[in-house]
Structure 1
Amino acid sequence: MLKVIPMDECSGQLSEAFSLRLEELSVLDMAWLHPQQSGAGAAGGPGGSGAGPSGSGGPSGRPLLCVLHQDPKGARHVKTYEVQLTAKELLDGPWQQQHVDSGGALLIPVPSPLGGVIVVGENVVSYLGGPGGQAPVSAPLRQTIVTAWCQVDPDGSRFLLGDRQGGLQLLVLAHDGGSRVSGLRIEPLGHTCRPSCLAYLDSGLTYVGSRSGDSQLVRISAQPVNQPAPMEDDEESGSGAVPPAPEPPTYVELVDSFPNLAPIVDFVVMDLERQGQGQLVTCSGIDGDGSLRVVRNGIGINRQATVELPGIKGVWSLRSHYGDEYDKYLLLTFVGETRLLALNSEEELDEAELPGFDGAAQTLWCGNLATDHLLQVTSASVRLVDTTTLQLVSEWRPASGFAIHVAAGSPTQVVVATGGGHLVYLEVVRRPEGVVEVVEISNVVLDSEVACVDVSPLVLQQQPAGDDLAIDGSTTNGGDINAERSSLVAVGRWDQTLQLLSVPSLTPLSTTPLGGEVIPRSVLCTALEGVPYCMVGLGDGALHTWRLDPATGGLSDKKRLVLGTKPIMLRTFRTAAAAAGRDGGNGGGSRSGGSNAGGVSVFAASDRPTVVYSSNKKLLYSNLNENDVAFLASFHSAPFPRSLAVASEGALTIGTADDIQKLHVRAVPLGENPRRIAHHEAGRMLGVLTMRLETDGSERGYLRLLDDTTFDVIASYTLAPNEMPCSIAAWSGSTGGVNGESSPSNVCFLVGTAFVVPDEAEPARGRILVLEHVLGAGTGQSTIRLVTEKEVKGSVYNVIPFVKDKILVSVNSKVTVYRWVVRNNGGGGTTAGAAASTGAGGGAGSGGSHVELASECSYSGNILALYLATRGNLIVVGDLMRSVSLLSYNVEQGALEHRAADYNSGWTTAVEALDDDTYTYADNLLNLVVVRRNAESATDEERARLQVVGEFHTGTFINRLRHGSLLMRPPDSEFASLPAPLIFGGTDGRLGIVARLPPALYDMLTKMQSALRTVVRGVGGLSHEAWCAFSNHRHTAEARGFVDGDLIETFLDLGPEDAALVASLMGGSEHSVEELTRKVEDLARALH
């Protein structure tokens, strides 16, 4: 059947669809043909085989449809139809072509005046249907499968073709300048990613969209871009050395790439630091675009230089002059000492001296001043140094008996605390005679000791991209006076209060209790996205934030978060790109973002360093993937542009920071198709099963072992011909012989395979392989040893370490438990435990014995047991068609017992156990289902049934569900006790989180979801409720047991009126906007 949807040419409105019957049963492709009349109709757009005109295509003026189809004998033909819209009929078209290329699968309509259609096959490209009954024209094509095309010229004389290997070719239609095609020519251009669509933009720029790798923007040049430059003659030119074979010319130059995780076939969660914050490693891409993608939450430091310097108590960057673009100095302070690093003529950091600085004292604050001076504050004095002579020009000392304990400054101001509650406000003043001095303007005695102080200027206007900011947020190029002078001083006091005072009088503006008994350790006033904030870091790792009114000192919208367990030190800074938008598809729908490029962010140094930034006028938080960072400073210099100086407990590191966003993705190219992955935690290795497309068109399977930190390939193992890798698991248990003296590495992987033979509908043979990593004598000399193998009758879809050092395997319809057996070479055998007690060796012939796998028990009540998940001795089986079932392993009897099943049919794509009684699975119709076992029911029938308790349409084909998290949960959060979530990965590259909620929270979020559906309208007016509804081939039902986290988090982006409307729809007396905002923000931070 052909479904036709008429559209009004003027209004664009769609009319009622109707169906037309086609004679062809196997349609491979269709295309609307362009009208053959000169100047009639519109040219088809590039990038698809359905591009067509709004005008008529046939001689009668009716739309002309071209159909490529295959008959029952496998022959392929092209036929045209005229579509009669008024009568709703299909009439035979003006021409047809029998027996085109047997590999023909793509139709490309050619615009007027040439007209006709191009049939793209695997070996031949043909032009058919030219005006006046022109005979077909063909040209040979390198054997491949073309996956995308686009039109280059308006007259259709050139097209770009992209194939599954990433080859890009130019198809040229030679013609006489009229409407007759005289020949076809194909010119190879180069290689790109594997294209799913192509779009020619202009001037050689072409967008290559890919569903199997990173999309690309490329430039096609008239001359080869890899042509080597001519080399000058030298004495060795006639040495007789054989020159390397020249590379084939390529005319394709990569301009930009756009990351894509799709398709995610498998993934693993690694927690390398054992802190509860994992990172994902996904198997992504297809064939040559295959890669591992390392997905992590937080911001990384790309290290450029590191030096061991223990005991750093502070770090600041300084410029030679206030208006300079680049920093020149790094000032490091220690207990009783200050040291200076400066860039020398070779652009290297060397130790230097500033005569005007006190190097024998610890620096409390330093910075560049607007008067083109440097200022250093120590416990003894405030020192003003001339940037030209580097000599001391002015000094202020506290009264006798007092010492400076705390200090802060701006480009024109300094505030110091001298003990006993004394607070002194100083300014740098230029006298009429030109002398610059540090002058005391005012002082005040507070009724509590000062713990921390800040006088940072507030830049309330968004800073233009490109203007440099110092670490304190002041401009480095003069700028507005508001960027050089603060109107208030923020003071954190020992009595656990925050006090704001006006300057220059130091008159109190407001006093805010912090609560608790912990002393504030750092205070900061700054503006993010033009919104002023006041932040206080406490000694227990908690951070308080308020919105600040600079005119009155009023504080509002208080929030408290626990970032770590050690004292927090706050600094503002800039990165190379302090911005990133939402993560889009790759973020699995999570909210993330950053300030605009060139904006300011706040660094909170602690044992769990955090970056505080703003997106859409809301504060967001992202972890820094470094441990125990004590201090940080911007360091923008010629050799280290847009860099940071990061001081930890024992070292100083200079590097650049990643973009400020939630998720960061790193690609590890493989050049082959990754299928399955497992992480050996003890061995610090990844085992990756791959398939590589060989030059002869065949595929070969491999096991690659990679270092889990550097991702370098350590060793490889080649599978047998026609053997396809199906499953893998890391093995750390006892095998009797494997972990003996002959196996010092103890790094083993279990691999399940299948032999794929063309004339077999299903694999009839497979293997279970036990492979061990064997350390070599040097780097790159490691190998993989086959410890033992077990041949089975079918495909090994799953291999999983199980209880009591057993192995759980699913082969076709059977689930089997295997045990280790050590057999003597003479034929006798013992169990693995007995062998272990005798210290038997690992491989065959080791100590006269070898280890084998023996079947202990099995269960065969499935069609195809494609997926397994275990929890203790419970086994969740995901079947090809029979949804999920539950088995249990009886340890004492050594038997598998059927416990319960979901008797609804479903094509399972992934399974996982949530707890002992609750399990979840995904199906091929993009649904996620949760079932529960009625273990306490009175009847056997109820206990044997898995009851569906949750259904939700995700919109993605889920390939894997795994327990794990990408972040550490705040310890004081009300959601810290939530069970560990599930992470899922899909074919479209989407990552998502499934979290279990307590009943009260679920009820509240369900009400919020219902209210948001009323307030937030979908794109195009689509119904969110209809989208989330569970649907299969039998029925459609409203989603239940789930709330959509993406919809819930849109509440944070609502304006005040819409947010208030949502709260009122939920019951305004029960839930305030502030409470709802806090709960949604805390829940988002706890989950992603």
Structure 2
Amino acid sequence: MAYVAPIHRATSIRHAIRANVLDPEIDDLVVAKANRLEIWRLSEEGMECLQTKLIHGTISMLQRLRPKGSETDLLFIGTDRLQYFNLAWNPETKQLDTIERVIEDLSEPYMRHSQSQNKCLVDPTARFLAMHLWEGVLNVFRLPTRKGSTNKLEILDQVRLTELFMKASTFIHSRTGHPTIAFLYKSQMEQEEARLAIYRLTHDDKGGVVSKFDPHKDRELDVVIPDPYASMLIPVPLDEEKRYHVRNTEGAKAHLGGLLIVGETLLTYFDGLTHRSVSSGLKDPRIFVAWAEYDGTHYFLADDYGRLDMLTIETNVEATGVVVTGMTLVPMKLGESPALTSRASSLVYMGSNTLFVASHHGDSQLYQIDPETNAMLLIKSLSNNAPILDFSIMDMGNREGDAQAGNAFSSGQSRIVAGCGAYQDGSLRSIRSGVGLEERGILDELDGTRGLFTLRSYSSDLVDTLVVSSITETRILSFDTDGGIEEVYSFQGMGQDTETLFASNLPNGELLQITPKSVVLLDPESGVTKSRWDAPTGKSITRASANTKWALLSVDGTSLVSLNLLQNLAVKMQETQAEPGSQQPDQISCIHAARDPPDIGVVGWWSSGRISLIDMATFQPLHGESMRQTDDSATVPRDIALVQLHPPETSGPTLLVAMEDGTVVTFNVSTKGFAVSGRKSVILGSNPARLHVLPQDDGTSNVFVTTEHASLIYSSEGRIIFSATTADDATFVAPFDSHAFPDSIVLSTDNHIRICHVDKERLTHVKALPVHETVRRVAYSPGLKAFGLGSIKKELVLNEEVVTSSFRLVDEIVFKELGEPFLLNASSTLEIVECVIRAELPDAGGNLTERFIVGTSFISDGQVQEANGTLGRILVLGVDEHRQMYQIVSHNLKGPCRCLGIMDNYIVAGLSKTVVVYNYSQDTSSSGSLEKLAAYRPATVPVDLDISGNMIGVGDLMQSLSLVEFIPAKDGRKAKLEERARHYEPIWTTSLCHLDEERWLEADSQGNLIVLQRNADAPTEQDRSRLEVTSEIGIGEQINRIRKLHVPAGDNNIVHPRAFLASAEGSLYLYGDIAPQYQDLLMTFQSKMEEYIHAPGNIEFKLWRSFRNENRESDGPYRFIDGEMVERFLDMDEGKQELVCEGLGPSVEDMRNLIEELRRMH
């Protein structure tokens, strides 16, 4: 049985409006993200999310309505399953209430879907509503005016339209008060044109009888727009000044109040009363995609390239009223250059000169606008992963070879690297499980920090003093109980004219300060030096560490010194020894004095790359361990910490070693004999990490790691967790539990110092690298420690759109580009990357070598034919020692290469109509060939492949999944591909993945997930050739990619994670298999949860999660558990939890623990 839960929820914003929902005096921003409704409020600091509501349906419509006499707006919501309802804010319960009436699907079986997206229009009075759902059909609703039912939509009529191919539609402002609607349409599907038709919506004055929309009787205007590519209608409000209507319209001028038609080359304005028009040409052709009204004569326009312009309607005041004379378009500016925003799906002007750019293709943004200078300033950006086109899983913890099993996402060691966004909004994003940092204070103008130490002043019970060390001085900041800060120039006798290497309070009350020249013990009350040890003449202390008993020092890297803090700094010194076979003594690279056991020190060595556990009293070595795994390795330990990560009663201390290459190695340390075992490596950066120990109240410690990807290391349920943090710029960290800032940490960056609180709950953290191209395909090579990216670039060159495609390498940690991009330019028109995989293929000597395989397609305009009918290529690329790509094989194809896979040393390619197995051979270091061995023809077009042994899963564009077995050549017979089983149901496949043995996971374009199983042991051939559905669910989002997880199953695991799924809306899901002993319990539990979970709209959970496509619709999810649903149990009060668990078997506490364990998986 199957389980699916969101790791990262949808971030794409397709719909956004401005509405008075929560407060009649304040306009809020309402946005829709897949099945979530969010209400944001603008403030001086930016934006704050006030409400988030989960809807049982993907939101396809969002509008506001204003009932008669109401001070606040209703929200009208429509879902992709044609369910519609109103939401109203209840100020007493502080919740969004569903208006009783829910409108269901109004379609007839013969109706065809509208050619564009479903659309909802609201008239300027916010009381009439019209919906385009079906081709040639308009559904009309209104809010009644009679008391008691003003907020319940009533259906007026469903009318036929002769305008079938609708490009745009809108209500326009009317001087008569009658609702008027305008359609921009074309009369033929194949021919591009733009025609404008205007109708009055209702016949009667009361607005109760809908017009029949007869083109001969009811049309007020029908005109051809000169720009055939016009696609946007903007209603222009009426001017407040009185207008004198001239009956003879022949010589009349166009007055303000009507309709603006926006085309690619032409702007046309129509007077709403006389239908007189004014046109203005555009200097450069543009494709506009969104608009927002600033005022009656100024409008923001966003185009396909993210450019933002201010459209101004030029007017003159004449005796007859305000006359429109033309339109001008002026680009907005961001700094000194034209403004470039994310490609807008919607623009919302929020008043107070703020503009919100909602985006599906990039980050949504909030801008401050200056209409006088057309300048813009970015205030806030909302991160958006959508659409995720492809991703790879990078296991940062698997650095010890194949013997080490993969890690779960929740461990923080598994990182998802995804290609997100489109065109100039394209980016590569790193997604990890992690903890957030809540900022509590910031200290500016403190740069060059080389160490942070927190101290208690005399008689204080908590820390209240911060020591900030730099290369030339030590600064001391004192905090009062209210958070006030003062820099002090004298503190308990501490030296401030030099760098401080270490400072701490000792249990006996003394203060320890270590500088490059001395170690001193100070009396905290008088500031008098009680004990002092000076470095030998001409030498310096280079590294220092201390606990409550010992100070451990490195002097010039050649001498090891321990000082007994309880015996007046009694000294023990030892010179370093030369390694066998070397004349030079080894140098100390790092040292650490363990907190517990207090007599143990750890030393790291430069030349040998070893670490040594020593007794600090005698320097007797207790254990030594080489950190180098291979003979040619030259890595060096750069920082060490021996800490109690796990509770002392369950486990001994853990040794962490930060290596020069950015890897952190962990060991289990035995308390008897201090032997180390259980070596594991995790890569956290490409530069040496610093380890900062954060002691906890329970005797354990956490470790904050500062590097390119700052991480927090801690223990959870016996596992070591490596959580990403939001402090990637941190350089030093120290605990800071003070009166004003309880349970906090203090961290420094290159420019300032921050006081933060570490969140307890793990969240998903995203780090983006803008690429400004569509990252269509991502492949990860652990051997090369690099990602291969197949990207598409779209740009304007001399006002002409130029599209190019390339393949490039980027570093696995910081995403730095390696070498030069490999341009795909074999076509005389356009060659585009279709698929990318990495593989180990034999080189000319037969040794397996890392390669990237790229499949491409040639895009032709029909006028230019390629030589030999070539329509695609398969490329095999190598990477040299300088990390530069070079071509080994270029194999021409008669069609595009849609997908690729590897089966042993064979390359499996999904072409336009066939699946082909090729044998790869390499003749020289830079040349090779592909030999066709076998082919299979699927029903239509293969869109995805996955391979298990000799079995190839072929995802067909229209006809679901087929299993094809490759039979190698034998005894003179040629190799062949034979179909073994198929799913006999039409499904538009988008991605698939082999789970285990005979089970496969498939996603389709309608947002469904299906688990298919073949019964290979069935008695008849017919049964063996049929794939049966064992689980299915409606996700409500198109899944673009599924990647298999290799995580070992635990004996007590409730769910065994199997795969990650990425959607077009920016979501990431975890798929898993439920252990047999929990299947019945969770199915019953989910059914009982449905009785107590009521989402806005009162749409049933079963209906929302049911399988649905054009051929069939199920009653609910089949053998599938929705993790998001069952996890809502933890948000219930105890009374409801008891009701859910009644008759279930396990207690409330047992179920709470079980669901918490499920949540911790992600």
Question: Shorter chain as normaliser: what TM range?
Answer: 0.5 to 0.7
The answer to whether the 8 A contact 2:908-2:915 is kept is yes
> What is the TM-score normalised by the length of structure 1?
0.64
Equivalence for 1:540:
651
Closer, same or farther: CA 925–195 of 1 in aligned 2, 3 Å: same
Q: Could you tell me which amino acid in structure 2 is paired with residue 318 of structure 1?
A: L
The answer to whether the 8 A contact 1:689-1:701 is kept is yes
Equivalence for 1:34:
173
CA shift for structure 1 position 105: 0.8
Q: 2:702 aligns with which of 585, 596, 605?
A: 605
Tell me whether 1:713 sits opposite 2:812 in the alignment: no
Distance 1:522 1:985 in 2: 38
CA shift for structure 1 position 726: 0.2
Tell me whether 1:298 sits opposite 2:434 in the alignment: yes
Closer, same or farther: CA 390–1049 of 1 in aligned 2, 3 Å: farther
Tell me whether 1:288 sits opposite 2:438 in the alignment: no
Tell me whether 1:702 sits opposite 2:799 in the alignment: no
The answer to whether the 8 A contact 1:340-1:353 is kept is no
Distance 1:259 1:710 in 2: 19
The answer to whether the 8 A contact 2:1007-2:1038 is kept is yes
Tell me whether 1:254 sits opposite 2:389 in the alignment: no
Equivalence for 2:772:
671
The answer to whether the 8 A contact 2:1006-2:1038 is kept is yes
Equivalence for 1:173:
313
Q: 1:1062 aligns with which of 1140, 1145, 1148?
A: 1140
Tell me whether 1:4 sits opposite 2:127 in the alignment: no
The answer to whether the 8 A contact 2:156-2:210 is kept is no
**More divergent stretch after superposition (174-183 vs 900-909):** 174-183
CA shift for structure 1 position 67: 3.5
Equivalence for 2:233:
107
Equivalence for 1:213:
362
> What is the TM-score normalised by the length of structure 2?
0.60
Equivalence for 1:444:
none
Q: 1:946 aligns with which of 1016, 1019, 1027?
A: 1027
Distance 1:759 1:842 in 2: 38
Q: 2:220 aligns with which of 91, 94, 116?
A: 94
Q: 1:634 aligns with which of 710, 717, 735?
A: 735
CA shift for structure 1 position 901: 0.1
CA shift for structure 1 position 771: 1.5
Equivalence for 1:1004:
1081
Closer, same or farther: CA 1033–808 of 1 in aligned 2, 3 Å: same
Distance 1:707 1:8 in 2: 58
The answer to whether the 8 A contact 2:1082-2:1121 is kept is yes
Equivalence for 2:330:
187
Distance 1:988 1:601 in 2: 42
Equivalence for 2:1038:
957
SS at 1:1008 equivalent: helix
Equivalence for 1:983:
1060
The answer to whether the 8 A contact 1:567-1:606 is kept is no
**More divergent stretch after superposition (11-20 vs 252-261):** 11-20
Distance 2:1151 2:140 in 1: 45
Distance 1:29 1:621 in 2: 56
Closer, same or farther: CA 253–737 of 1 in aligned 2, 3 Å: farther
The answer to whether the 8 A contact 1:816-1:857 is kept is yes
Closer, same or farther: CA 67–102 of 1 in aligned 2, 3 Å: closer
Equivalence for 2:674:
none
CA shift for structure 1 position 738: 8.9
Alignment of 1:851-870 (within 5 A): 851-870=928-947
**More divergent stretch after superposition (713-722 vs 128-137):** 128-137
SS at 1:265 equivalent: strand
Equivalence for 1:624:
723
The answer to whether the 8 A contact 1:603-1:632 is kept is no
Closer, same or farther: CA 161–34 of 1 in aligned 2, 3 Å: same
Equivalence for 1:810:
910
CA shift for structure 1 position 541: 6.9
Equivalence for 2:183:
66
Q: 2:163 aligns with which of 5, 12, 24?
A: 24
CA shift for structure 1 position 682: 0.2
Closer, same or farther: CA 799–174 of 1 in aligned 2, 3 Å: same
CA shift for structure 1 position 753: 0.4
Listed one character per residue, the Cα deviations across residues 629-650 of structure 1 (whole Å, up to 9, x for unaligned) are 9x9732699xxx986579xxxx
Equivalence for 1:13:
152
Distance 2:1095 2:1067 in 1: 20
Closer, same or farther: CA 363–853 of 1 in aligned 2, 3 Å: closer
SS at 1:981 equivalent: strand
CA shift for structure 1 position 964: 2.8
Alignment of 1:693-842 (within 5 A): 693-694=794-795, 695=797, 696-714=800-818, 715-720=820-825, 721-736=829-844, 746-759=849-862, 765-776=871-882, 783-803=884-904, 805-821=905-921, 841-842=924-925
The answer to whether the 8 A contact 1:956-1:988 is kept is yes
Alignment of 1:876-895 (within 5 A): 876-893=953-970, 894-895=975-976
Quick check: which one's strand share is greater?
A: 2
The answer to whether the 8 A contact 1:122-1:141 is kept is no
Listed one character per residue, the Cα deviations across residues 100-156 of structure 1 (whole Å, up to 9, x for unaligned) are 311111111111132211111112221123433423332315322111110001xx1
SS at 1:1046 equivalent: helix
Distance 1:600 1:256 in 2: 37
Q: Could you tell me which amino acid in structure 1 is paired with residue 331 of structure 2?
A: P
Q: 2:285 aligns with which of 140, 143, 160?
A: 143
The answer to whether the 8 A contact 1:689-1:725 is kept is yes
Closer, same or farther: CA 160–326 of 1 in aligned 2, 3 Å: farther
**More divergent stretch after superposition (724-733 vs 900-909):** 724-733
CA shift for structure 1 position 367: 7.5
CA shift for structure 1 position 166: 0.8
Equivalence for 1:163:
303
Tell me whether 1:1050 sits opposite 2:1128 in the alignment: yes
The answer to whether the 8 A contact 1:406-1:452 is kept is no
Distance 1:1021 1:541 in 2: 53
SS at 1:280 equivalent: strand
The answer to whether the 8 A contact 2:778-2:836 is kept is yes
Distance 1:963 1:280 in 2: 12
CA RMSD across the alignment: 4.6
Tell me whether 1:875 sits opposite 2:952 in the alignment: yes
Tell me whether 1:934 sits opposite 2:1015 in the alignment: yes
Identical pairs, percent: 25
Distance 1:150 1:997 in 2: 49
SS at 2:201 equivalent: strand
The answer to whether the 8 A contact 1:304-1:654 is kept is no
The answer to whether the 8 A contact 1:888-1:896 is kept is yes
The answer to whether the 8 A contact 1:356-1:391 is kept is no
**More divergent stretch after superposition (383-392 vs 672-681):** 383-392
The answer to whether the 8 A contact 1:355-1:392 is kept is no
Listed one character per residue, the Cα deviations across residues 222-280 of structure 1 (whole Å, up to 9, x for unaligned) are 576xxxxxxxxxxxxxxxxxxxxxxxxx7222111110000001111111331623111
SS at 2:141 equivalent: coil
Listed one character per residue, the Cα deviations across residues 307-341 of structure 1 (whole Å, up to 9, x for unaligned) are 8x9xxxxx96226686997611689xxxxxxx999
The answer to whether the 8 A contact 1:1011-1:1062 is kept is yes
Distance 2:137 2:652 in 1: 65
SS at 2:314 equivalent: strand
Q: Could you tell me which amino acid in structure 1 is paired with residue 766 of structure 2?
A: V
CA shift for structure 1 position 675: 0.7
Q: Could you tell me which amino acid in structure 2 is paired with residue 1027 of structure 1?
A: W
Closer, same or farther: CA 772–981 of 1 in aligned 2, 3 Å: same
The answer to whether the 8 A contact 1:356-1:392 is kept is no
Q: Could you tell me which amino acid in structure 1 is paired with residue 788 of structure 2?
A: G
Equivalence for 2:537:
none
Distance 2:863 2:1026 in 1: 36
CA shift for structure 1 position 735: 3.9
CA shift for structure 1 position 538: 3.6
Equivalence for 2:83:
none
Distance 2:474 2:992 in 1: 58
Aligned length: 776
SS at 2:788 equivalent: strand
SS at 2:1129 equivalent: helix
CA shift for structure 1 position 769: 0.7
Equivalence for 1:278:
414
